[in-house]
Structure 1
Amino acid sequence: MTLLAVSLIIFSVTEFLPGDAASVMLGQQATPTVLENLRHKMGLDRPAYARYLGWVIGTSEAEGAVFKTNDGGSTWKRVALDMIAPITRTTFD
């Protein structure tokens, strides 16, 4: 229950910040059409409750969770669980 409350608080705070991710990524020089296309691609045109549910479901699926890491100059993706597992084993031992 606590995790749900914290996730709702974090999501709500980001909703009340000025602007959105699309406008930050594209900057002030972006045309309204390009901005609207990116908002649609990112799902920002959906209602807040739908974005929240998608976010919760997406973060609960280990297959979709990846980190971009830099390893010796080559950027690659690795499943988040593979990166977190050694840390959690140490934590709970």
Structure 2
Amino acid sequence: MVTVFFAEEWDLDVVTTLEFKSDGSMSYYGTVREPGSEVDLGYQFFAEGSFLIEEGRVSVPDFQYFTTMYVTSGSYAAKEELFESQAFLETGLMK
């Protein structure tokens, strides 16, 4: 699933992608692009791990989350420059 919206305050398109693969792995990431472009400038966050489907519900019990320092400011970086963040993990949003 991919969603794209224009962030007027940054003058950039924000792209959020959520992928569930048949091998039980998942990835969830946010990138930014010049408006109307298909080329990612960089990542705001990236998560990867495994998922389970039990009783019609999807859970993500095991994953790592990487981010830039200031996602809400429109910052982005190369994927390898993101740092691992425990703050998102502690919210329980991916459980």
TM > 0.5: no
* Structure whose alpha-carbon radius of gyration is higher: 1
| Larger fraction in helix | 1
| Larger fraction in strand | 2
